[in-house]
Amino acid sequence: MHKLSLSEPGPAFRSADYMDNREESCDLVAQLGPSHRSRILAHLVELSEDDRRLRFGHQISEASMARYVRGIRFFRDAVFGVVDPHGQVLGFAHLALGDDDAEFALSVSAAARRRGLGLELLRRAGEHARNRGHRVMTMVYMPENTALAALAHKAGMHIVCEPSECRAHIGLEPGTPASLLGEAWRETLAAIDLGLRLGRTSASVTSA
């Protein structure tokens, strides 16, 4: 099975140089937590009805999406977002972790597509799953979801399609002390950057 390449984020994404003003216009990939539920929901609500159907596999109301967001198990699963300099979530990935399986689900705002956000989130989720002992990551999507089909092909995933759904699988290298340390270090910097972005957003909203 093909193994996911977990290379460094591309130049369009904020990394360890979070204090460099030259990178101010970049998007940030960061792990999200319970305090970000409202931002996650705002992202999902922004999706069109068809995009919601493709994301969840069926038609879904705003109330049902709110219940879904409230029910995310942050203590076990992992949630990642692409956040712009204004604190808006442009891309949202939910990595559901079971005892033996790791399932990846993704949505990207319409205005932020074709920028590589999906692949960056897939790599970040793969890094997280790898470092927690998972050897395979799976992505399930509807056959008509051409965006996820293209992502699966680009990532080199093994794809099996049936009339109702497609399942894409990618192998993950075993975690190492270096990969664990690298993930912790990058996420620490991302958390600082995220706090700065959200702090600026709150200040701009409350300032006279």
**Close Cβ partners of 29 (under 8 Å, ≥ 6 residues apart):** 9, 13, 14, 80, 81, 82, 120, 121, 124, 190
What are the structural domains of the chain? Answer: 13-202 (3.40.630.30)
The whole-number pLDDT of residue 199 equals: 85
Report yes or no: 166 and 160 within 8 Å, Cβ to Cβ: yes
Structure tokens at 203: 């200040």
**34 to each of 78, 88, 154, how far by Cα in Å?**
11, 16, 31
Q: What is the pLDDT of residue 22?
A: 33
pLDDT in tens, the chain (208 residues): 566 655 444 433 333 333 333 344 589 999 999 999 999 999 999 999 999 999 999 999 999 999 999 999 999 999 999 999 999 999 999 999 998 889 999 999 999 999 999 999 999 999 999 999 999 999 999 999 999 999 999 999 999 999 999 999 999 999 999 999 999 999 999 999 999 999 865 434 333 3
- How does DSSP assign 104-116, residue by residue? EEEEE-GGG-SSS
